[in-house]
A and B are shown apart, each in its own frame.
Chain A
Amino acid sequence: MPGLTRTAAVILGKELRTEFRTRDLLSTTVVFVLMVLVLFSYTFHPAAAESRRFGPGLLWLALLFAGSLMLHPSFMREQTNDTLAGLRLAPIEPFAILLGKILANFIFMLLAEVLLLPVFAVLYDLRLTPVLGRLFAVLLLGTLGLTTTGTVFSAVASQARMRELLLPLLLLPVLTPVLIASVEATAGLLEEPAALNGIWLTVLAVFDIVFLTATWLFGEYLLEE
C-alpha cells in the first residue's frame, strides 16, 4: 500500500484538476462572499472606525457561510457518476481520500480569501498591509479548521436527505469556536496598535489538530458502502 502522503497527494491532484477544469467552486465562492460583503455594508455605517469594529466579524461570517455552502460539492460531485465507489475500491487508506479532499478545499478557500482580501480592505477602508503576515497566519489556521470539519460533514450530509440545507446546520454550530477565535484575532490586528493575542492562535491550532486527528480516527467510517 503506497504511503499516506503520496496517496493523499494523488487525491489532491485529482481534486485540483477537476476544479480547475471549470473553476465552479472558486468563482461561486468569490462571488458569494463578495455579495455578502456588499449586503453587510447596508447593516451599519461603513466608515473606518465602524469597519474596524464590525469588519472582522462580517469577513469571517461571510467565509463561514461560504464554506458551509461551497464544501457541499466535495462529496456530492462524486455521487453523480458514483466515482466515490471507485475511490473506495482503490487500495489506499480511506483517510487519504479525506485528507486529499480537505487539502483541496483548504487550497480553494485560501485562494478565494487571497482574492477577496484586497477587495474587503478597499470596500471597508481597512489597512491590512502592515499586518498581512499575521493576518495570513490567522487565515491559515481558521480556514484549516473550517475545511477539516466542513469536508467531513460534507461526507455526512451527502448521505442524508435535504443535503444542501443540512450541511450549514451541522457545520455552523461546530464552528462557533473557530468563528470566535478568528474574529477576535483579526479584530486585534485591526486595532491601533495592532496586536495578536496568542490565545486565539492557540485555540485555532488546537482545534485543527484535534479535528484532523478525529478525522484520521473516525472519518473512514463515513466512506463505507
Chain B
Amino acid sequence: MKPGWLNTLAVAVLVAIAGFAALFLAPTERTMGIIQRIFYFHAPSGLTGFVAFFIAFVASIAYLFRRTPKWDWLGVSAAEIGVAFFTVVLTTGPIWAKPVWGIWWTWDARLTSSFVLWVLYVSYLLLRTLVSDPERRALISAVFSIFAFLDVPFVYLSIWFFRTQHPQPVIGGGGMDKRMWPPFLLCWFALLGVMALLLRTRYRLEALRHAVAEVSIEAEQRAADRARKQAAQGTHG
C-alpha cells in the first residue's frame, strides 16, 4: 500500500495556514471578541459534515443499484466521518456559546437540527453494529441511510418554522464582515482536505476488514475440511 504522505503533508500545511489565518489574520469580531474565532472551525465543520453525509447518501444509492461492497465501504466511511465533524460542531458550539450567550446550550433552531442530525447518523452506525452478515448489513443500512438523508431537509425546515414562530432571544443575524470570508473559505477548504484524508483511510480500513473476514471464513472452512478428513480416516483405520 502506498503511503499517502504527500497528500497528508499537503493537508497538514493547508490546515496550518487556515489556522493561522483564522487566529491571526482574520479581524477580531467587535462584540464577541477573540472567542468568535472558533467560528472558523465550527461552521466549516458543519458544512464538511454535510458534504460527508451527502457522499454517504450517494454511496448508499449506488450500493443498492450496483451491489459492489465498495459502495458500502464508502457509505459507512462517509457517514462515520460526518458524525465526527458534527461532533466537532456540537462541542465547539457550546464552547463559543458559554462566553457569548452565557449558556452552554439553547434550543435554537440550528443547534437543535444539528443535534437531531447527529443522532440520526449515530443510529445508522448503531444499526450497522447490530447486523453480522456483511451483505445484509450493507443492504439494510443503505436503505436506512437514504431515509435518514431524505429526512434532513424536513428536520431543518420543521425546526426552523417551529423556532421562528416562538419568541426567543435574537441570536446571530447580520452579515459577515468582508474580511472574514477568505479565512472562512480557507478553513472550509482545509477541512474538506481533512475529510478526504480520513475518508481514504477509513475506506481502506473497511476494505481490510472485509479481506480479513473473507480470509477467516476460508481458514474456518479449511479447518473444518481437515477435521472431517481426519475423522473419516479415523473410522476407516
A residues contacting B by CB (< 8 A) are 149, 152-153, 155-156, 159-162, 166, 169-170, 173-174, 176-177, 180-181, 184, 199-200, 203, 206-207, 210-211, 214, 218-219, 221-222, 224
Contact = CB atoms under 8 A, between A and B. Distances in A.
Interface of B: 64, 116, 119-120, 123, 126-127, 130-132, 136, 139-140, 142-144, 146-148, 150-151, 154-155, 157-159, 161-162, 165
Contacts of B126: 166, 169
Q: Per DSSP, are chain B's interface residues mostly helix, strand or loop, or mixed?
A: helix
A71 B146 CA distance: 20
Contacts of B154: 176-177, 203, 206-207, 210
Nearest to B165: A184
Name the 7 nearest CB pairs between A and B, nearest first: A177-B154, A177-B158, A160-B130, A180-B158, A161-B130, A173-B120, A173-B119
A67 B151 CA distance: 18
A160 B132 CA distance: 8
Given A156-B127, A222-B140, A224-B139, A211 B147 contact: yes
A221 B144 contact: no
Contact of B127 (A166, A203, A224): A166
B139 A222 contact: yes
Contact of B131 (A160, A181, A219): A160
Given A170-B123, A203-B158, A214-B147, A221 B64 contact: yes
A224 B132 CA distance: 16
Contacts of A159: 131, 136, 140
Nearest to A152: B147
Given A160-B131, A170-B123, A199 B161 contact: yes
Contacts of A156: 127, 140, 143-144
Given A180-B158, A214-B150, A222-B140, 6 more contacts: A156-B127, A173-B120, A174-B151, A176-B116, A176-B159, A181-B158
A48 B123 CA distance: 38
A40 to B, nearest CB: 20
